[in-house]
Structure 1
């Protein structure tokens, strides 16, 4: 019997610094209602959904920085989203900036099931950008300054009739993000991102922004026999253009649904989790074909070989 999960990938258009959380949550609820009307089991939102992408500014005042963080979840501002999801009987996943009771700062995402229960939390591990301000940039990318490296690894949880996991933005570019979950049998990965089109250290990459996004989502899906739901925040946000290209990718590596705009948009697909089985049992049967001992032996014998800087 097939295990169908109907997914709504809820792309978000630009969120400006002046936009309130209440206004953003209202937009999220509208997309959630659309998803429920189309029979979705889960709706997936981007990284740092509740605010503008604040690491593009250098801020020294910690109180100012902390205004972008959530001290509890659900909070007063996000409670309407949780309440509406419970009323509609739909699950969801979204990203936000988390400030823990101990004063730690993380780029975080969570999974909430159809009953309104939080079943999974992930904290971003591969933090891109830089720690100190670089005035020559058109905008900053100070994730290394404002966030700690995530401390929860890549978990996999029972949700929506299968095994679901999460990663955030830059994690999607690194094969180990997918592989750690793949080794746990993951069947669907939710990926939220805020990706600027312009890459200040390497502007020659700009024309390939969408291509590279699709490349890593498709490769990660195929190489681990899993569905991947990649959801972007997009449009011109505080003068910075963000890519969209929200996509739902099958375990075959094929894109079966993709956004067409740079605005709030819902992409819907019926995803059969059983489609993962043939890939996990044949080409990517890790127990049968993967040779981790050989990798360790090579590293132990030869070390990590890096190209010369010359």
Structure 2
């Protein structure tokens, strides 16, 4: 019996610095209601969906920086979204800035969570591939200080949820082959990705006209080469004077785009995703156990401190790898 999952794109338009979390959560709830009305079981929201994209500013005041971060989830501002999720039976992916209390003290992460249809958090992911720069670079039209404000996460794990195997990534992660491959080796069937991507690339402005193309290209390649669905969702439009791409879409394991948003504002779109369709690729062209030979080219996949081969067994890396 096919395993169908109705997945909605919950694309957001701009969030200005003056917009409150209450206002933003109300927008998220409206998108969730729209998704429920057309039968969605899961809605995917963008990266850093609760605030403006604050890494575009160089900020030295710690209290000001921390004002963009969540110290708990859910909290008073986001509880209505969790309550609505439970009431409607619609799960969600949400990206936000997390201020975590760890043994070494407070640590800042660019985080996403997966919430099931009962409104319970079932997985958390922290962004691994942090783009941009760490020090003040006032020559830029706007800055991209993720390396200053966030600590990188420690890898990708998948979760049994929504009747399948689900993984998460965030924004720049989508450009790197290992993001998909590490989850692919764990049998992932759907990768959820939120992003905030400016049209302008200060270090390489010749890329500007290709921003939307590269966004879709990387997700289509990841989907096809790992036999998985990929759901990519933007926060788009002109936010605090910075134009960001849209292009939210749902991509099948074949690499084909099956649903997309058409605007750069708040928009919902939906697709019926057959999770069993992944097997057509996982058992044939991309049957890793049968065809993949990592020892031949020194590819190492790290998971929980182990060095893994294609079949999950520990193997020694070639000298110099």
Determine if the TM-score, normalized by the shorter chain, exceeds 0.5.
Answer: yes
Matched, 1:133 2:139: no
Partner secondary structure for residue 22 of structure 1: helix
* TM-score (normalised: structure 2): 0.92
Matched, 1:109 2:90: no
Distance in 2, matches of 1:193 and 1:184, equals 23
Equivalent residue for 1:154, pick from 153, 156, 162 = 156
Equivalent residue for 1:225?
Answer: 227
Distance in 2, matches of 1:66 and 1:162, equals 36
Equivalent residue for 1:9?
Answer: 9
Partner secondary structure for residue 268 of structure 1: strand
Distance in 2, matches of 1:68 and 1:295, equals 43
Partner secondary structure for residue 104 of structure 1: strand
Partner secondary structure for residue 169 of structure 2: strand
Equivalent residue for 2:36?
Answer: 36
Partner secondary structure for residue 35 of structure 1: helix
Partner secondary structure for residue 184 of structure 1: coil
* TM-score (normalised: structure 1): 0.96
Distance in 1, matches of 2:248 and 2:119, equals 25
Equivalent residue for 1:96?
Answer: 96
Residue 27 (structure 1) shift = 0.2
Residue 184 (structure 1) shift = 0.4
Equivalent residue for 2:250, pick from 226, 248, 262 = 248
Equivalent residue for 2:182, pick from 177, 180, 183 = 180
Residue 60 (structure 1) shift = 0.4
Matched, 1:119 2:122: yes
**CA RMSD across the alignment:** 1.2
Equivalent residue for 1:261?
Answer: 263
Matched, 1:49 2:49: yes
**Runs of 4+ residues deviating >6 angstroms:** none
Residue 297 (structure 1) shift = 8.5
Equivalent residue for 1:307?
Answer: none
Distance in 1, matches of 2:47 and 2:208, equals 21
5+ residue gaps, structure 2, are: 301-316
Residue 101 (structure 1) shift = 2.0
Residue 296 (structure 1) shift = 2.1
